[in-house]
Structure 1
Amino acid sequence: MHITYVLGTRPEIIKLASLIQASVREGLPFSIIHTNQHYAERMDRVFFNDLELPEPNHHLGIGSLSHGEQIGRMLTGIERVLLAQRPSVVVVQGDTNSALAGGLAANKLGIPLAHVEAGLRSYDRSMPEEINRVLIDHLSDHLFCPTANQANYLVGEGIRGGHIHITGNTIVDAALDYAETAQRRSDILDRLGLTQGKYSLLTCHRPSNTDDPAHFATLMDAVADIAEASGFPLVFPIHPRLGEHQRQAAANHHQITLTDPVGYLDMLALLQNAALILTDSGGVQEEACILQRKCLILRRNMERPEALENGGCVLPASLSASDLRSAALALLERPVVWNNPFGDGFAYRRILDTLTATADTHL
């Protein structure tokens, strides 16, 4: 069996890491196609280093383009590699353009496709990620769902049979494996002058929050107000897709400390020691639950409702400044009995066992 992993962004690197690491340990033949959808050094190379992953076998060098041009170039490049190596299975993760292109290429060539983190739904078709994840699921031969909720969504869409598997989420594998290492090796709190449990962490990158300059500026006003009211300074590792206008909108507030993007170990350290996390990232929502940190979700909807179950993550009534402030301050005061709904850290084992057991049936 030969596995081809297709990835292109920071979340995919993190969420495929445990599978790739196990493939190395166990001598499973595999290759990695990197589309380079995230092309910034701080969003890419540093994650391979922190997670001790092998160099990708193929770099496509796609970078930042319009959705259509990006997917088209990825599809051409991935197809060329798959035709040459004819793997037993192609593995994609999540809802990125890289994952969709990998799925389309595998499907058109008749190569079995495995979707890690299958079945997530926000039911908001204005999100490009929602379209991607639905299409990938309906192309896939193996659907690896984090929880029973996602399996039920797939069944409701007419996807049935033994190729739906509840495995837990591979982000748990990575977070549990590296949390202690991050605490020991990262010095980012010292570098930023932060005190454990006395700051908030902001991540914000989704187009719905960042593409409209006026909306983004209003959102920065709101999170700065939360920092002022809580007494906790706010650290904001800014995503490379944000331009100078967004940087300036955040920098206008003395409560917000801007930093360049950080590596995986530094990010885990920031997450573990924050009093409050404010984010529009699905992966960060999951990491907040895993690491037992309070999290305010800067979105109007979400595809991970399990995060809300114990009250440690909150979806505000709206993104208005007043609703965000009241939700944040109430969350800081609320006692939480933590549980992690996303798995036990062995999702990779269930996924690889399934792929190994079924490999012969596809040859």
Structure 2
Amino acid sequence: MNLKILSIVGARPQLVKLAPIAAALTAEGHRHVIVHTGQHYDADLSDVFFTGLGIPDPDVHLGVGSGSHGVQTGAVMAALDPVLEAERPDWVLVYGDTNSTLAGAVSAVKQHLPVAHLEAGLRSFNRRMPEEHNRVLTDHAADLLLAPTDEAMRHLAAEGLADRAVRTGDVMVDVCLRVRDGVLADGSTPPALPEGIDPAEPYLVATLHRAENTDDADRLAMLVDALACLPVQVALLAHPRLLSRAETHGIKLERGAVRAGRPLPYAGMVAAVLGSQGVVTDSGGLQKEAFLLARPCTTLRTETEWPETLENGWNELIADPGALGEARWTAIATRPAPDAARGTPYGDGRAAEAVAAILAERARR
């Protein structure tokens, strides 16, 4: 049964997830319509992923750009309505936890189109995070919940959604392992790190972008101070939100151990993490990628959507490094990789094939 499946994406993590899904749907002969909302319109966060991961060009680009959560979500919904009305797909597939995710789900259900949510069931239980609102509301609106882990399945069951949920594994594993193998096979090329970072010496990869870490000037200053005081090089891959907030707050990013550079294409990011001593981040995706790439991660938050990464010390949650004291903070951020095995809580790298099969099986006849 050949289907028409419409994917709605708009942010870097969604584009990474889109890559194996697009390949799996094409392999099964389905027609795949890609709608890019333009939520992340910076080329470093969008266009480069289409070329770097071999994703087909979007069929529709809505170009909504930035704005407050309400403005951005509303703009995506308004722009999507005529697209969905014209396409009438067998499935609308939404990804992750962004404003584009929620807007796509709401637009589709209003037109009585079946919605599947990829990466369903993740919970941080922090209701101050906009991503948490988007996850919960999308899961309760969607017809099919494609859960990456056993823990995600438990969350959905606790919310009365078990009958809509299927555990598929995590499509991020598919792409991360494939790209890792390619990077390792081409080991002669050093990672594209910010200017001033010597890849032959130990370094950490760092990212900061979440509103709770960047909107408050005092908190952002504390986090940058914590990175700057570390005794190893810190390659800060600076998200546009971080650059904007740092400029607004008058905070200098490049000082001490820190050298700032642009976000990297996905293969470049994988190469940077593989070459690193570890990762310091507030990104959900990068926590998991560090885990998959066997690098210790320190997460600058009070919670994680990926609790499996916390097993055996692969990931540690440090919300306030400034309160630890420099010696303790340094010991955590620069710790070696644990000796313990990581297991395969996120699947075997064939999640996209499972998703394609489930969409065909569950399609309305």
Q: TM-score when scaled to structure 2?
A: 0.92
Q: Corresponding residue for 1:125?
A: 127
Q: Amino acid of the residue matched to residue 336 of structure 1?
A: D
Contact 2:294–2:337 at 8 Å: present in 1 too? no
Q: 1:136 to 1:323 in 2, by over 3 A?
A: farther
Q: Corresponding residue for 1:168?
A: 169
Q: Which runs of 5+ in 2 are unaligned?
A: none
Once the two structures are TM-superposed, the CA of residue 20 in structure 1 deviates from its matched residue by 0.7
Q: Corresponding residue for 1:63?
A: 65
Secondary structure of 2:241's match?
A: coil
Q: Corresponding residue for 2:243?
A: 243
Q: 1:7 to 1:334 in 2, by over 3 A?
A: closer
Q: 1:39 to 1:287 in 2, by over 3 A?
A: same
Q: Corresponding residue for 1:86?
A: 88
Once the two structures are TM-superposed, the CA of residue 77 in structure 1 deviates from its matched residue by 1.3
Q: Measure, in 2, the Cα distance between the counterparts of 1:356 and 1:108.
A: 22
Q: Measure, in 1, the Cα distance between the counterparts of 2:105 and 2:282.
A: 25
Q: Measure, in 2, the Cα distance between the counterparts of 1:319 and 1:68.
A: 32
Q: Amino acid of the residue matched to residue 237 of structure 2?
A: P
Once the two structures are TM-superposed, the CA of residue 328 in structure 1 deviates from its matched residue by 4.8
Q: Amino acid of the residue matched to residue 347 of structure 2?
A: G
Q: Corresponding residue for 1:336?
A: 339
Q: Corresponding residue for 1:211?
A: 215
Once the two structures are TM-superposed, the CA of residue 34 in structure 1 deviates from its matched residue by 0.5
Contact 1:299–1:319 at 8 Å: present in 2 too? no
Q: Measure, in 2, the Cα distance between the counterparts of 1:97 and 1:317.
A: 25
Secondary structure of 1:188's match?
A: coil
Contact 1:272–1:291 at 8 Å: present in 2 too? yes
Q: Measure, in 2, the Cα distance between the counterparts of 1:195 and 1:344.
A: 31
Q: Measure, in 2, the Cα distance between the counterparts of 1:155 and 1:322.
A: 38
Q: 1:277 to 1:197 in 2, by over 3 A?
A: farther
Over aligned residues, Cα RMSD in angstroms? 1.9
Once the two structures are TM-superposed, the CA of residue 244 in structure 1 deviates from its matched residue by 5.0
Q: Measure, in 1, the Cα distance between the counterparts of 2:27 and 2:245.
A: 45
Q: Corresponding residue for 2:180?
A: 179
Q: Which runs of 5+ in 1 are unaligned?
A: none
Secondary structure of 1:309's match?
A: helix
Q: Measure, in 2, the Cα distance between the counterparts of 1:250 and 1:281.
A: 21
Q: Amino acid of the residue matched to residue 169 of structure 1?
A: D
Cα shift readout 1:259-309 (whole Å, capped 9, x = no counterpart) = 012111111111111101000000001101111000001101112111101
Q: Corresponding residue for 2:261?
A: 259
Moved over 6 A (4+): none
Q: Corresponding residue for 2:41?
A: 39
Moved more, 255-264 or 84-93: 255-264
Once the two structures are TM-superposed, the CA of residue 190 in structure 1 deviates from its matched residue by 7.3
Q: TM-score when scaled to structure 1?
A: 0.93
Aligned residues: 356
Q: Corresponding residue for 1:234?
A: 234
Q: Corresponding residue for 2:100?
A: 98
Once the two structures are TM-superposed, the CA of residue 325 in structure 1 deviates from its matched residue by 5.5
Once the two structures are TM-superposed, the CA of residue 316 in structure 1 deviates from its matched residue by 2.5
Percent same amino acid among aligned pairs?
Answer: 37
Contact 1:318–1:324 at 8 Å: present in 2 too? no
Moved more, 340-349 or 30-39: 340-349
